[in-house]
Structure 1
Amino acid sequence: MGRQLRVVHRTGYRYTGLVSASHNEARMTPRATREQFVQATRLDINPVAWTHTFTDYWGTSVTAFEVAEPHQRLDVVAVSTVEVGDRLAVGPGVEWAELAEDSFIDKHIEMLAISEHVDPGAELRRIATEAARDCARPAEAVAAIIGRIRERVAYVPGSTQVNTRAADVWEIQAGVCQDLVHLGLGALRSAGIPARYVSGYVMPSATPVVGEVRVGESHAWLQYWDGAWVGLDPTNDVAPGDFHVEVGVGRDYFDVPPLKGVYSGTESSDLFVEVEITVLG
């Protein structure tokens, strides 16, 4: 039986002056998957905007919108009710030989590519390569690699910026969920294991009261290929469960930002975010 959650995600921009127009994309609608049923969802935008909704290349729901009137603040509110069931914690299994086949690599090439955002640096690449050599199966290497990342890198809010590279996170030994995921992606891909970024939400309490609104947070975890996509939350050292709500997947954070856009007018803006999660049953 699934867990029913209500998520309210408020975000937007405060501009330092008047903006004549803005063009934006919101990725704030939970994905419909075998483990996650979206019962209801809506996206409210103020000022009123022209909108177009589509599913992007990676399978994430996107609402593109344009505000053509002058405004000094943009508010976007996503309200969703989701039923989350049991997620795959262990895959069917895959052998190293299969990961090395040309046809497999060609199929998963995008989730094997190491961009500058996820490049873990020489030391962690070496650790990943050694794990691939020493572990009998890819899933064992995943556990070993993520374990090394967690040993070295502490979760420290405010220690990095959105553009901080994975290699720099490894050096300063601190980061947030996005950084731990980027390190994991780069390291697993260095070992030849396809891995992808997952954005979403997580309930902050392991024992929430039904009907009680809790201040939640946007969150990130990863999925790696083990005969199927298997989730792993490096920040909390768990397999994502029924308190994780999946919104987007991609190669890294920059494929799935909740809100991004361009505007004409003032020189600067301030992004604000607030997430509330309620267990309904």
Structure 2
Amino acid sequence: MIYDVRHVTTYTYGSPVTFAQCTLRVQPATSHGQIVEWSRLSIDPQPAAMTEHVSFFGNRVALVQIDVPHEVLRIEARSRVAVDRNAALDLWADRSWEDIRELGFARASMQPTSPAHFLYPSPLAGFAPSVTDYVGQSFVRGRCITQAASEVMGRIRREFKYDPDATKVSTPLVEAFQNRHGVCQDFAHIMIAGLRGLGLSAAYVSGYIRTIPPAGKPRLEGGDASHAWVALWCGPDRGWLGFDPTNDIMAGDDHVVLGIGRDYADVAPVGGILQGTREQDVAVGVDVIPLLP
């Protein structure tokens, strides 16, 4: 499947900002079952300086400096991405989760894809006994790791309510877990924290998922959403597999990966500092448009 992806972030400030230094992670990379055919980044006002690099985990990062006064900052990333990711999975074909746990701890590699980097708590997906107990209900002794993980994402889908007004980026994981309300970021962090609490390697994946309008209805421009899901290390044979607890599906050809990290802080689309007002409104629009063959 080939997609044209458009991601627009617009900041409107209460008074002029005289200086801004931004870290942008809004362009996908070729990896994880996808190939980026081309990608373009446009910023208004025009940056005085911009450098790009690839982070340790393989994410594309742009560092931008704007030194002219402005009340609106508009960041637009356009990409064409070819995705070929087989989501079909025999849930009974893998080793037990205890075997995978031992294999993860035994891995000596420190390459970016090594499970070693994703075994331990991170700032936004810290250790929480209540979350570990919740996830652990599906990881009974000797159970196949993919079957157990699939059951966890299904339970989160059924037992938690998607509510964009319930949490913020700063909402603690335990609070979202206790209230059973939140968004894809919260659900991914909850699943990751529980898996790590059991000694399994789990990563945070940011990206996009194609949305399909109801029959007879047109697509809404900007109606596709930024998304988040979980990558679980399932051993040296399976490698990393994507589990989407928001939708109770495996990550397949409808998912476009933007970045991978230990939690949201590693892959936040926009960060940085500015000089000027604290008052700001943020609007984000995403389009994931499949190209017909």
State the TM-score, normalized to the length of structure 2. 0.86
Consecutive unaligned residues of structure 1, counting only runs of 5 or more, are none
In 2: Cα distance, 1:148 partner to 1:54 partner: 38
Which residues of 2 match residues 107-126 of structure 1 at below 5 A?
A: 107-119=114-126, 121-126=128-133
Question: Which residue, 104, 109, 115 being the options, matches 2:107?
Answer: 104
- Counterpart residue number, 1:161: 168
Change (3 A) 1:194 1:232: same
Give the partner amino acid of 2:34: Q
Q: Deviations over 1:33-73 (max 9, x none)?
A: 25211111100011111111111111110111100111111
Cα distance in 2 for partners of 1:97, 1:279 equals 39
Per the alignment, residue 241 of structure 1 pairs with: 252
Structure 1 counterpart of 2:286, one-letter code: V
Alignment coverage as a number of residue pairs: 278
1:19 aligns with 2:17: yes
1:223 alignment counterpart: 231
User: Is it true that 1:36 corresponds to 2:38 in the alignment?
Assistant: no
Is the 2:100–2:145 contact (alpha carbons within 8 Å) kept by the matching residues of 1?
no
1:114 deviation in Å?
1.8
Does the Cα contact within 8 Å between 1:119 and 1:183 map onto a contact in 2?
Answer: no
Q: 1:275 to 1:142 in 2, by over 3 A?
A: same
2:278 corresponds to? 267
**1:157, 1:122 → 2: CA distance?**
25
Partner of 2:266: 255
Q: Distance in 2 between matches of 1:221 and 1:11?
A: 21
Q: Distance in 2 between matches of 1:5 and 1:251?
A: 26
Q: Judge conservation of contact 1:178–1:253 (CA < 8 Å) in 2.
A: yes
1:140 deviates by: 2.7
- Cα distance change, pair 268–105 in 1 and its aligned pair in 2 (3 A): farther
Q: Cα RMSD between the aligned structures?
A: 2.4
Q: Sort the Cα spacing of 1:97 and 1:85 in 2 relative to 1 into closer, same or farther, 3 A.
A: closer
Instruction: Spell out, residue by residue over 1:144-198, the C-alpha distance to the aligned partner (whole angstroms, 9 max, x if none).
Output: 3333333321112221111112211111111100010000100111111111011
Rounded Cα–Cα distance in structure 1 between residues aligned with 2:219 and 2:3 = 11
Q: 142-151 vs 191-200, which deviates more? A: 142-151
Residues 259/87 of structure 1: CA separation in 2 closer, same or farther (3 Å cut): farther
Cα pair 1:152 1:173 within 8 Å, conserved: yes
Change (3 A) 1:136 1:267: closer
**SS of alignment partner, residue 248 of structure 1:** strand
What is the match of residue 180 of structure 1?
187
Q: Please identify, of 175-184 and 114-123, the stretch whose mean Cα deviation from structure 2 is larger.
A: 114-123
Identity %: 30
From the superposition, tell whether residues 212 and 89 of structure 1 become closer, same or farther in structure 2 (CA, over 3 Å): same
SS in 2 for 1:260: strand
How far is 1:207 from its partner?
A: 7.7
Instruction: Report the equivalent of 1:80.
Output: 79
